[in-house]
């Protein structure tokens, strides 16, 4: 790669206090949260590991998914994290959970690749101008026969409409090209990969929408706020975990296996 893809999110975004406001250690996958239980279930089925296998997460903060793999599968876990706060929080989380994980605070595009049995990337590639190039960089960290699991939020349907109403500036930090299933199918063909899984998860999850800071009764807050309130009530009924559709679901997950 001659030049890395352009990051459309400034580093200061990841350093803002509001981003980590709800983070406290130990921070583990919470099966009471729709997204956590949906993603945990999908990863357990489509991207499990054996004891002692090496798992790398790109953009790992707060490292709860690495803790998930360490505690559930006895994997050896390592994270790459760009931001100062994210790296510090991840290390604190490992210590609080009693997990012997490593965190490397580096630029993903500058670090020397080392092979891993599984590379996990959750909410990362959609922040770049060329998602396919970012995916290709991930492959350099996957050992032969290993897997790559990539997840992105789904702003392609109803969630995108609501986010545009609530705070269009936040939506602009996400490249919706990374949310098209066709990207992942083309990538598999281009690199000779087995596409183990490609599907939506998370159901109708209001947590994906970030409400703006305008007046409470303004259309930009009232409309998405009312819809997300209804979504939240539905999420209390876990049956909606299975209500997945490109226009409704909160997340898209792709899992590849290398030859």
Q: In angstroms, how far apart are the furthest CA atoms of the chain?
A: 54
> CA-to-CA distance for 202 and 187, rounded, in angstroms?
24
Helix (H, G, I), strand (E, B) or coil at 130: coil
**Rounded to two decimals, what is the model's pTM?**
0.90
CB atoms within 10 A of CB 214: 13
With beta carbons less than 8 A apart as the criterion, state whether 139 and 191 touch.
yes
> CA-to-CA distance for 118 and 141, rounded, in angstroms?
9
> CA-to-CA distance for 198 and 188, rounded, in angstroms?
11
Comparing CA positions, the residue from 113, 67, 109, 69 lying closest to residue 91 is 67
> CA-to-CA distance for 112 and 236, rounded, in angstroms?
44
pLDDT 10s digit of each residue in the chain, 259 long?
Answer: 578 899 998 877 777 765 666 678 999 998 888 889 999 999 999 999 999 999 999 999 999 999 999 999 999 999 999 999 999 999 999 999 999 999 999 999 999 999 999 999 999 999 999 999 999 999 999 999 999 999 999 998 888 888 888 888 889 999 999 999 999 999 999 999 999 999 999 887 777 888 765 444 444 544 444 444 444 455 555 666 777 889 989 999 999 999 9
DSSP 7: B
With beta carbons less than 8 A apart as the criterion, state whether 14 and 83 touch.
yes
Domain locations along the chain: 11-16+24-257
For domain 11-16+24-257, give the CATH number. 3.40.50.150
With beta carbons less than 8 A apart as the criterion, state whether 24 and 60 touch.
no
In DSSP terms, 57 is beta-bridged to 79, 120
């Amino acid at each position: 790669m001659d030049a890395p893809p352009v990051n459309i999110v400034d580093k200061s975004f990841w350093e803002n206090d509001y981003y980590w406001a709800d983070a406290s250690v130990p921070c583990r996958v919470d099966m009471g949260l729709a997204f956590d239980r949906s993603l945990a279930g999908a990863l357990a089925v489509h991207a499990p590991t054996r004891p002692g296998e090496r798992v790398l997460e790109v953009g790992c903060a707060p490292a709860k998914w690495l803790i998930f793999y360490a505690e559930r599968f006895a994997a050896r876990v390592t994270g790459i994290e760009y931001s100062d706060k994210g790296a510090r929080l991840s290390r604190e989380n490992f210590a609080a959970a009693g997990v012997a994980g490593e965190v490397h605070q580096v630029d993903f595009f500058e670090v020397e690749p080392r092979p891993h049995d599984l590379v996990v990337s959750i909410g990362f590639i959609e922040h770049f101008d060329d998602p396919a190039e970012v995916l290709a960089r991930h492959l350099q960290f996957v050992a032969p026969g290993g897997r790559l699991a990539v997840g992105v939020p789904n702003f392609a349907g109803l969630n995108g409409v609501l986010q545009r109403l609530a705070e269009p500036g936040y939506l602009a930090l996400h490249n919706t090209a990374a949310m098209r299933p066709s990207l992942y199918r083309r990538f598999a063909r281009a690199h000779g990969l087995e596409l183990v899984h490609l599907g939506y998860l998370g159901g109708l999850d209001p947590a994906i929408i970030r409400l703006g800071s305008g007046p409470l009764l303004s259309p930009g807050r009232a409309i998405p706020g009312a819809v997300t309130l209804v979504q939240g009530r539905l999420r209390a009924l876990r049956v909606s975990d299975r209500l997945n559709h490109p226009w409704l679901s909160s997340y898209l997950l792709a899992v590849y296996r290398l030859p």
